[in-house]
C-alpha cells in the first residue's frame, strides 16, 4: 500500500491531468445524466483541486517537478515538467472547473443536460492542465488540440443553426492556428534537432542575436497570439463565447486565452534566450492596440456578455504589456494579474449568468431592476467589476499597479498611457452594465419568481468572489508566489539542469529496455549532428538498483555544474 502511494507521489505531475481524463471517460460510459453522475463529477473535480494544491505545495519546496514519461531520458522522451508558474495556473484551472461544474449543476435541469457536456468539460480541463505541465513543443501542440477539440464540441453541443454558425469562425481560426503551430514545431525541430524546452534552451543560450532564432521565436509568439486573442486576431472570440451557457463561457473566458499567454511567456523565458528586445517591443505595440481598441469596441456593444468578452480581450493586452516590459517586477505583476484575471473574468461571466436567470435577457436596453430585487447579486457584480477595473483594495489593483509602475520606470510612456486609458474605459463599460442592468427602473420587465437553483448558483458564485476578494486583500502570499514563479522562469539554467541531468531513481527494467533505447539514441545521434551525445552504457543486471544504461548525457550539460536542488523522486 505504501509502495503504491509512494509511486503515485512520484507520478504526481501527471495525476491531475489523468484524473480529468478518467473522469471524462467514466462520463462517456455512464450515459444517463443523473444525481449519481453529477456527484461523481463534483467529487472528481474536488480531487483535482486537492491534487493541484499538493502540486503547488511541492513546487514551492523543490521548485521544479519533472517526470520522464515512460522512463525515456529527457531530450528523447516526453518530459512532463511543472514549475511554480505552471502549478499556480493548474491550481486556478482546477478551481474554476470545480466552480463551473457546481454552477452548472445548480442551474441546469437533469432532463436537459446533454450527456456529453460534462465529459467534454473534463477533456477540456485535461488538455489545459497538460498544456500547463508539458515540457516539449509537440506535447504542447497535442494538449492544445485536446482542449480545442473538446471546445469545438462544447460550442456546437446544442447543434442548432446559430451555434454552428457562431462556432465556425472559432473552428476556422483555431484549425489554422493549430496548423501554423505544428509547422512552427517542425521548424524548431529542423533548426535545433529537438523539441524539448530545456534542450532548446541549452542549445540556444548564446544565440540571442541570431536572426533565425528571432524569426522562429516571433513566429511562435504570433501563433500563440492567435490563441490568446492579440489585436488584429480577436474578432472570432466574442462571437463564439457569447453564445455559450454561462458556466461554459466562464471556463472558456477564464482559461482558453490564458493558455496562449502562458505559451508566450514560456517561449520567451524558458525556451528561447532572454533579451529578444525586438520581439518585446513588437508585443508592446500590439498590447497598446489590444488594450485600447478592444475596450473601445466593448463600449459600443449592447449586451452583457459581448461587453465582457471585449473586456477580456482588452485585459489580455495588460498581460502582453507585462511581457513587453519584461522586467522581473513586471513579469511578477503579469503572473499575478493572470491569476487574478482568470478568477475575475470567470466569475463575471457566472454573475452575468445569474443576471440572465433573473431578467431572462442579455440585452442592456431590455434589462433593469436587479439592484432593487436582488441586491446581493449587485454586490457580487460590483466587487468583481471594480476588481476588473483595478481599484484598490481589489485583486486587479496589485497586478496593474506593478505593471504600470514598471512601464513608467522603463519610460514606456505609450504603454503606461494605454494601461491608464484602458483601465478608465473598463470602469466606464462596467458602469454601463451597472447602470443598465442593476440601477435602471424598467417597468416593462416582468420580474418573475426566482428560478429554481438560483440560490445555490448564487452561493457558488459568492464563494468564488470571496476567493477573488482574498486575493486582493491578502495579496501578499499570491504576489510572493508569483515572484517565485518569475525568478524561476528567468533562472533558465535551473530548468535545464533539472530536466537534462535528471537522475533516474525510479526502478527500471534492465534487459528489455536497454537495447531498445540504444537504438533510439543512435537514430537521434544521426539527426543531431551539432551536439555529440555520449552514451554511457554499462549493463547492470540488478533490477532495483539505480540504473545508468539510459543516461546519455549531453557533453555540454555534463560540464555544467549540476544543480544540487533536491528532487521529489
Partner 1 sequence: MTNTKSHILESVSRLIFLFIIIFSIYLFLKGHNQPGGGFIAGIAASIPLFLLAMSLGVSTVKRVLKVDSLTLAATGLIFAYGTAFVPTVLGYPFLFQKMIHTHVPILGELHIGTPVLFDLGVFMVVVGVSTKIIFSFLDVVNSKEKV
Residues that bind partner 1 (CB under 8 A): 3-4, 6-8, 10-11, 14, 18, 21-22, 25, 28-29, 67-71, 80, 506-509, 512-513, 515-516, 519
Instruction: Tell me whether residue 153 or residue 245 sits nearer to partner 1 (CB atom).
Output: 153
- Minimal distance, residue 156 CB to partner 1, in Å: 13
Q: Report, in angstroms and rounded to the nearest whole number, the Rg of the chain calculated over CA atoms.
A: 24
Instruction: Tell me whether residue 509 or residue 536 sits nearer to partner 1 (CB atom).
Output: 509
- Minimal distance, residue 270 CB to partner 1, in Å: 22
Instruction: Tell me whether residue 509 or residue 555 sits nearer to partner 1 (CB atom).
Output: 509
Grid look-up 509502495 returns: 3
- Minimal distance, residue 68 CB to partner 1, in Å: 6
Distance CA 283, CA 324 (A): 6
- Minimal distance, residue 111 CB to partner 1, in Å: 21
The residues that bridge with 553 in the sheet, in sequence order, are 534
Q: Where do the H-state alpha helices sit in 390-532?
A: 395-409, 413-433, 454-473, 476-490, 492-500, 511-527
Instruction: Tell me whether residue 113 or residue 210 sits nearer to partner 1 (CB atom).
Output: 113
Asked if residues 422 and 314 have their Cβ atoms less than 8 Å apart, the reply is: yes
Instruction: Tell me whether residue 305 or residue 550 sits nearer to partner 1 (CB atom).
Output: 550
Instruction: Tell me whether residue 24 or residue 100 sits nearer to partner 1 (CB atom).
Output: 24
- Minimal distance, residue 151 CB to partner 1, in Å: 17
Instruction: Tell me whether residue 21 or residue 481 sits nearer to partner 1 (CB atom).
Output: 21
Strand extents, DSSP E, 306-462: none
Instruction: Tell me whether residue 103 or residue 552 sits nearer to partner 1 (CB atom).
Output: 552
- Minimal distance, residue 15 CB to partner 1, in Å: 9
How many residues are given for the chain? 569
Instruction: Tell me whether residue 67 or residue 489 sits nearer to partner 1 (CB atom).
Output: 67
Q: Distance between terminal CA atoms of the chain?
A: 18
- Minimal distance, residue 29 CB to partner 1, in Å: 5
Listed in sequence order, the residues at least 6 apart from 102 whose beta carbon sits closer than 8 Å to its beta carbon are 42, 460
- Minimal distance, residue 149 CB to partner 1, in Å: 10
Residue 524, classified by CB atoms within 10 Å of its CB into exposed (0-12), middle (13-18) or buried (19+), is middle
Distance CA 425, CA 308 (A): 13
The residues that bridge with 303 in the sheet, in sequence order, are 363
- Minimal distance, residue 65 CB to partner 1, in Å: 13
- Minimal distance, residue 124 CB to partner 1, in Å: 16
Instruction: Tell me whether residue 7 or residue 179 sits nearer to partner 1 (CB atom).
Output: 7
Instruction: Tell me whether residue 18 or residue 410 sits nearer to partner 1 (CB atom).
Output: 18
> Which contacts qualify for 64-67: CB closer than 8 Å, 24 or more apart?
64/488, 64/494, 64/495, 64/498, 64/499, 64/565, 65/12, 65/13, 65/568, 66/13, 66/135, 66/498, 66/499, 66/502, 66/567, 67/10, 67/11, 67/13, 67/14
Strands 79-82, 533-535: parallel, antiparallel or unpaired by DSSP?
A: unpaired
- Minimal distance, residue 566 CB to partner 1, in Å: 19
Instruction: Tell me whether residue 67 or residue 307 sits nearer to partner 1 (CB atom).
Output: 67
- Minimal distance, residue 78 CB to partner 1, in Å: 8
What nine digits make up the cell of 364?
A: 442592456
What nine digits make up the cell of 231?
A: 489585436
Nearest to 312 by CA among 211, 362, 241, 398: 241
Q: What angle do CA 465, 93, 155 make, to 5 degrees?
A: 95
What nine digits make up the cell of 75?
A: 531530450
- Minimal distance, residue 41 CB to partner 1, in Å: 16
The residues that bridge with 207 in the sheet, in sequence order, are none
Give me the DSSP letters along 148-206: HHHHHHHHTSS-SHHHHHHHHHHHHHHHHHHHHHHHHHHHHHHHHS--BHHHHHHHHTT
DSSP summary character for residue 451 = P
Instruction: Tell me whether residue 279 or residue 499 sits nearer to partner 1 (CB atom).
Output: 499
Asked if residues 99 and 249 have their Cβ atoms less than 8 Å apart, the reply is: no
Q: Can you tell me whether residue 533 is helix, strand or coil?
A: strand
Grid look-up 478551481 returns: 95
Amino acid at each position: 500500500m505504501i509502495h503504491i502511494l509512494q509511486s503515485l507521489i512520484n507520478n504526481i505531475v501527471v495525476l491531475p491531468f489523468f484524473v480529468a481524463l478518467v473522469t471524462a471517460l467514466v462520463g462517456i460510459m455512464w450515459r444517463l445524466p443523473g444525481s449519481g453522475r453529477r456527484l461523481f463529477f463534483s467529487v472528481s473535480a474536488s480531487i483535482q483541486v486537492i491534487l493541484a494544491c499538493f502540486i503547488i505545495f511541492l513546487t514551492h519546496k523543490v521548485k521544479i517537478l519533472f517526470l520522464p514519461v515512460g522512463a525515456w531520458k529527457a531530450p528523447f522522451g516526453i518530459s512532463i515538467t511543472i514549475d511554480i508558474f505552471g502549478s499556480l495556473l493548474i491550481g486556478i484551472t482546477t478551481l474554476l472547473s470545480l466552480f463551473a461544474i457546481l454552477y452548472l449543476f445548480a442551474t441546469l435541469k437533469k432532463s436537459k443536460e446533454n450527456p456529453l457536456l460534462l465529459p467534454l468539460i473534463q477533456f477540456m480541463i485535461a488538455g489545459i492542465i497538460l498544456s500547463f505541465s508539458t515540457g516539449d513543443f509537440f506535447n504542447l501542440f497535442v494538449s492544445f488540440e485536446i482542449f480545442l477539440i473538446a471546445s469545438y464540441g462544447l460550442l456546437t453541443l446544442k447543434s442548432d443553426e446559430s451555434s454552428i454558425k457562431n462556432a465556425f469562425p472559432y473552428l476556422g481560426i483555431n484549425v489554422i492556428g493549430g496548423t501554423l503551430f505544428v509547422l512552427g514545431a517542425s521548424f524548431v525541430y529542423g533548426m535545433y534537432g529537438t523539441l524539448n524546452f530545456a534542450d532548446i534552451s541549452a542549445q540556444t543560450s548564446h544565440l540571442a542575436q541570431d536572426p533565425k532564432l528571432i524569426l522562429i521565436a516571433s513566429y511562435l509568439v504570433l501563433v500563440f497570439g492567435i490563441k490568446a486573442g492579440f489585436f488584429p486576431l480577436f474578432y472570432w472570440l466574442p462571437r463564439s463565447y457569447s453564445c455559450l451557457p454561462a458556466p461554459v463561457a466562464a471556463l472558456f473566458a477564464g482559461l482558453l486565452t490564458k493558455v496562449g499567454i502562458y505559451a508566450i511567456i514560456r517561449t520567451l523565458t524558458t525556451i528561447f534566450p532572454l533579451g529578444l528586445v525586438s520581439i518585446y517591443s513588437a508585443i508592446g505595440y500590439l498590447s497598446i492596440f489590444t488594450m485600447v481598441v478592444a475596450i473601445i469596441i466593448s463600449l459600443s456593444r449592447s449586451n452583457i456578455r459581448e461587453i465582457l468578452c471585449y473586456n477580456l480581450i482588452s485585459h489580455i493586452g495588460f498581460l502582453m504589456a507585462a511581457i513587453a516590459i519584461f522586467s522581473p517586477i513586471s513579469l511578477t505583476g503579469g503572473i499575478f494579474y493572470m491569476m487574478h484575471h482568470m478568477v475575475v473574468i470567470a466569475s463575471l461571466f457566472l454573475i452575468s449568468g445569474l443576471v440572465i436567470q433573473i431578467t431572462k435577457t442579455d440585452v442592456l436596453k431590455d434589462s433593469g431592476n436587479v439592484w432593487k430585487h436582488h441586491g446581493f447579486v449587485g454586490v457580487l457584480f460590483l466587487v468583481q467589476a471594480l476588481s476588473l477595473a483595478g481599484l484598490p483594495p481589489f485583486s486587479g489593483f496589485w497586478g496593474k499597479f506593478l505593471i504600470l509602475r514598471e512601464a513608467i520606470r522603463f519610460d514606456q510612456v505609450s504603454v503606461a498611457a494605454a494601461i491608464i486609458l484602458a483601465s478608465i474605459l473598463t470602469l466606464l463599460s462596467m458602469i454601463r452594465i451597472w447602470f443598465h442592468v442593476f440601477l435602471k427602473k424598467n417597468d416593462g420587465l416582468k420580474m418573475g419568481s426566482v428560478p429554481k437553483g438560483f440560490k445555490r448558483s448564487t452561493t457558488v458564485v459568492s464563494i468564488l468572489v470571496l476567493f477573488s476578494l482574498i486575493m486582493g486583500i491578502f495579496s501578499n502570499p499570491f504576489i510572493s508566489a508569483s515572484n517565485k514563479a518569475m525568478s524561476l522562469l528567468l533562472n533558465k539554467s535551473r530548468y535545464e539542469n533539472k530536466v537534462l541531468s535528471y537522475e533516474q531513481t525510479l526502478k527500471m527494467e534492465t534487459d528489455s529496455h536497454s537495447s531498445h533505447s540504444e537504438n533510439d539514441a543512435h537514430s537521434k545521434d544521426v539527426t543531431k549532428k551539432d551536439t555529440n551525445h555520449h552514451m554511457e552504457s554499462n549493463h547492470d543486471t540488478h533490477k532495483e538498483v539505480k540504473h545508468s544504461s539510459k543516461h546519455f548525457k549531453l557533453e555540454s550539460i555534463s560540464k555544467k555544474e549540476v544543480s544540487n536542488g533536491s528532487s521529489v523522486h
